Amino acid sequence: MRRTDRNREAPTGSTGYTLVELIVVVAIAGLLASVVAPRFFDQSAFAQRGYADELAAALRATQKAAVASGCAARLVLSAAAYAASQQAASGNACNPADSTWSTPVLGADGAAVAGSAPAGVAASPAGTFQFDSQGRLSASPATSIAVGARTLALDSTTGYVQVQ
């Protein structure tokens, strides 16, 4: 006698997942993704660090330009941008009477030292950071600049700029 499919025994164990189990797993995965993904892909810490490094390099370039030229140089900083300039030359010397500060400080690449902050990043305090011909910080609103969680420390006697 031949056995038919009706005579076979049904398996005794579970062979797959129920629909309820799958829905619960998908719901938990969705909840975790909605909580973790914004924190995982947040770039603000990187943007703050990058702008702090960029601003420190601009301050260093301004200080070096003052020493190399023998003319005072300054960096004007607002919450969202900065630009470096020097007093105009008069022959082979500086023109201390120049109040326009029209000569831009040039970086190593030949471009003017200027930039703007990324979205959501601000620097404070705003003001003018001026270096004399010896590279000393001769005028400034403060000796530290806050860029988000980062701080730029300026030594007023040497002009040294450090990102902390």
Question: Residue holding tokens 């190593």?
Answer: 108
Where helices occur in the chain by DSSP H, the ranges are 19-40, 44-69
Return the DSSP state at 67.
Answer: H
Strand partners, 153: 144, 162
User: What tens digit of pLDDT does each residue of 1-59 get?
Assistant: 555 555 566 566 667 889 999 999 999 999 988 888 777 777 888 899 999 999 999 99
How is the chain split among helix, strand and coil, in percent rounded to 5?
A: 30, 25, 40
Domains in the chain, please, with CATH?
A: 44-163 (3.55.40.10)
pTM confidence score: 0.75
